[in-house]
A = this chain, B = another copy of it.
Amino acid sequence: MQTYTISELAAEFGITPRAIRFYEDEQLIKPTRQGQSRIYSPRDRARLVLILRGKRVGFSLDEIKEMLDLYDVRDGQATQLAYTVKKFSERINALEQQRADIEHSLEELRAARARLEVMLAEKQPHRMPANDEHGRLIGYAMNPGAHD
């Protein structure tokens, strides 16, 4: 079966071996050993992918660990199924909120960029509105909607 060394994974994902060992300290991955050295299976690699993606979307390592543990539900813990489902739903809601935040941010950034490009095209750095005291930036309403 395919295996990986720690530096192989580190190079592949653009992180340091130190980080990977840290994830092990925090119980997020449990590679086997060959003597003293760590050996990573495809499953360990897959967990690393989930860890890094989780980080990119703003989860803490503790939260990611909880999610990975929830994936690891087995027969013995079957009584906790309802709790697990609830936790998953919470995560899903959080992510959907976050996606909405990102949509907002993207809208604003694109609109602001468009205006900047117009100014660039005009090549005339004359008077421009800049921002006023009513919560508008570069003439574009910030549209402060939901904030929780």
Contact = CB atoms under 8 A, between A and B. Distances in A.
Interface of A: 1, 12-14, 41-43, 45-46, 49-50, 52-54, 56-58, 70-75, 78-79, 81-82, 84-85, 88-89, 91-92, 95-99, 101-106, 108-110, 112-113, 116-117, 119-120, 125-128, 130-135, 137-138, 142, 144, 147-148
A146 to B, nearest CB: 9
B41 A74 contact: no
- Mostly helix, strand, loop or mixed at chain A's interface? helix
A-B complex: 7 closest residue pairs judged by Cβ atoms: A78-B125, A46-B135, A49-B144, A88-B113, A71-B137, A58-B58, A43-B133
B142 A49 contact: yes
A144 to B, nearest CB: 4
Contact of A130 (B74, B105, B106, B117): B74
Contacts of A142: 46, 49-50
A13 B147 contact: yes
Contacts of A42: 133-135
A113 B37 CA distance: 36
